[in-house]
Chains A and B, each alone.
Chain A
Amino acid sequence: MNEDRLTRSMMFAVLLLFGLCLAGIMLWVCRQLLSPVITGLLIAYLIFPIVRGGARLGIPKVVIVLAIIASLVAGIFVTIYRFVPQVKSEIEILTKLSDTQKEPGDHEEFTSEAQSKLVTTVRLLHAQLKQYGLVSTDLQDTEIVNAISGWLANSTASLVRGATDLAVRSSQFTLVFLFVLVFSLLDGGKLYKTIIDLVPNSHLETGIFILNKTERILGNYLRGLAVETVLLFFVAVALLMMAVPHTKITVVMALMVALILALTNIVRIIGPIFGGFASGIIVAIQVTDLPSIAVVAAVAILVQVADNVLVLPLVMREQVDIHPVITMLGILSGGMLAGVLGMVLAIPVIAGFKVIYRVVAVEIKRYDANSAENFAAHDDLWTDGRHLTGGRVMNDTM
């Protein structure tokens, strides 16, 4: 009997492994489609309670879904209407500015306020470095202008090149995203049952357990992420506001930097580094003041400390228990597969796989005659810390 159960469990594990490999290959092949599909599923998951709530009140699902899609499409159109002309004019300015490289030293044409502020900041930084003996050579304004113009020329060229490609990709993304969103919202309840239908009878309870647990992890993660982002935004705002009277940082700038720090924190490890640098550059361009840049850097570090010491243990206890190396590998793989979205979702996906791995590990050990004791060793897995009753003295099936 035990050998029979071992064979069955091994078969289950092998099939699961095969399935995971196949899913991995399919994900890689279809990675272009992955971002809109995941975004669609995720948005559907977040707004499905609205559809369900409306349906309970007797409003037809189609009407609710159409209303949601209409609002989304309207939102996209407003965004395009407001931001596309602005981006277009920015690209034109950048193209004009990058042309100054062709005539080095022609300061008359060097009219951009942002560019001149960048030059001043670089000059200030260079002076500081020279003062501490870290550099010895002098730096001419012309060299700085040439370096910045060259960088701008490259960036602008790639930006213009990518603009058309971006427009085509955005249209594809929007179409696939809306398609997935509509059908996920309409058939949200059926999706769960369809997945359960794929689980063999003998592993029905395990399948239901895994689905519920991973769904809960994903839900908790997304809710935790929202709470964490809002909390970090307010922490950053509070810290930056304290610096406003003593530095050149303005209130608007403080809000913008806080928003960048909070939003980039969504992508673990890599996000905060990028956010810190981006905030520093923005402040450098805007105010050209070393103490202000130092304050932003300090706030970025303090926000990270607050996040790791206070916020994360409070709002995401389940998700922080992942090794940093695994987190890093997961984020990089997620980025390769599905861009920024893949990076954001790397943690809940890893946590989900962790649950599956632990369940499979327990399943494999089931051939042991004392299987109840085997499960007892994994009580926290099945019950989230609640105590499981010893079933051998309680017949629940009579």
Chain B
Amino acid sequence: MGKITIVDKLTKRASLRALRKLANDDNYQFIKKCHLFQDVGPEALVFLMENVIERRYRRHESVFQEGNPGICLFLVKSGRVEIFTEEEDTAGERTVLAVVGEGRVLGELSVLSLTYRSSSARAVDPGTTLLTLSSYDIDTLMDQHPHDGLKVLRGVTDTLAHNLIETNKRVRELQLELARLRRAANGATDE
């Protein structure tokens, strides 16, 4: 940790004063509780509050579409968001990959790497509210408050690691299910 200068002290004091004014702001309360930003300092919280964009979605309104470049990270403030693939299955229906509820994060990979959206997302409930931060904002956060930026990135990688573990579990279950079905199919053929 470097030496704390008078500028740092003044900035921190001004940030704390700004956050006191935001004490009753529901977006501030939400961001403070969000696991990605739980440990960040007051300066970073002020920055996040200055840059976060709130959007309300109608039922079934598109949040993002598969194949588009991912620019934003979405935080579900209220309502639910459905994540699905555009490709339809044999029954002519889209495969729903997950339904994300309040307090969860969407599109977090766009913060780490420039990616194309691998699936689409749309609001499930009417009046679903999302808070948006662009990858440009996260880049600026990293530039201006590197310590806090690192904490946010740690949060993102934790989320990704959790998702990966869940996906591995699901893949293993499906592999076992597939093996069981194959055995059953082989048994039926032998008979």
* A positions within 8 Å CB-CB of B: 1, 5, 55-58, 189, 193, 196, 201-202, 204-206, 208-209, 212, 366, 370-372, 374-376, 382-383, 386-398
CA distance in complex: A92, B167 (Å): 86
Closest 8 CB pairs of A and B: A396-B109, A391-B116, A58-B14, A371-B67, A205-B71, A372-B67, A391-B118, A57-B10
User: Closest Cβ of chain B: how far from A369's Cβ, in Å?
Assistant: 9
CA distance in complex: A56, B115 (Å): 33
Interface stretch of the complex, out of B23-31, B53-61, B176-184: B53-61
Size bracket of the B interface: 35 or more
Q: Which residue of A189, A394, A398 is within 8 Å of B98 (Cβ)?
A: A398
Task: Convert B150-178 into 0s and 1s, putting 1 for each residue whose CB lies closer than 8 angstroms to a CB of A.
Answer: 00000000000001001100000000000
Cβ A388 vs Cβ B116 within 8 A:
yes
Q: Which residue of B13, B67, B136 is within 8 Å of A375 (Cβ)?
A: B67
Which of B62, B118, B119 has its CB near the most chain A CB atoms (within 10 A)?
Answer: B118
CA distance in complex: A132, B118 (Å): 76
User: Closest Cβ of chain B: how far from A150's Cβ, in Å?
Assistant: 60
15 examples of A-B residue contacts, CB within 8 angstroms? A57-B11, A201-B62, A205-B68, A208-B134, A208-B136, A212-B136, A366-B65, A366-B68, A371-B68, A375-B116, A388-B115, A391-B115, A397-B98, A397-B118, A397-B121
Complex: chain A residue closest to B117, CB-CB: A391
Cβ B53 vs Cβ A205 within 8 A:
no
> A58 with B119: in contact, given A204-B72, A205-B70, A396-B110 (CB under 8 Å)?
no
CA distance in complex: A387, B119 (Å): 20
Instruction: Confirm or deny: B22 has a beta carbon within 8 angstroms of a beta carbon on chain A.
Output: no
User: Closest Cβ of chain B: how far from A63's Cβ, in Å?
Assistant: 13
Q: How many A-B residue pairs have CB under 8 A?
A: 120
Q: Which residue of B13, B63, B118 is within 8 Å of A396 (Cβ)?
A: B118
> A391 with B70: in contact, given A208-B134, A396-B115, A397-B118 (CB under 8 Å)?
yes
Complex contacts, A371 vs chain B, CB 8 Å: 65-68
Which of A201, A376, A396 has its CB near the most chain B CB atoms (within 10 A)?
Answer: A396
Cβ A201 vs Cβ B55 within 8 A:
yes
User: Closest Cβ of chain A: how far from B164's Cβ, in Å?
Assistant: 9
Further 10 A-B residue pairs, CB within 8 A, beyond A58-B11, A391-B118, A396-B118: A58-B10, A202-B62, A202-B65, A204-B72, A208-B136, A374-B67, A375-B68, A375-B69, A397-B98, A398-B167
Complex contacts, B15 vs chain A, CB 8 Å: 56
Complex: chain B residue closest to A213, CB-CB: B136
CA distance in complex: A26, B167 (Å): 54
Instruction: Confirm or deny: B83 has a beta carbon within 8 angstroms of a beta carbon on chain A.
Output: yes
Complex contacts, B19 vs chain A, CB 8 Å: none
Cβ B116 vs Cβ A372 within 8 A:
yes
Instruction: Confirm or deny: B113 has a beta carbon within 8 angstroms of a beta carbon on chain A.
Output: yes
Cβ A57 vs Cβ B14 within 8 A:
yes
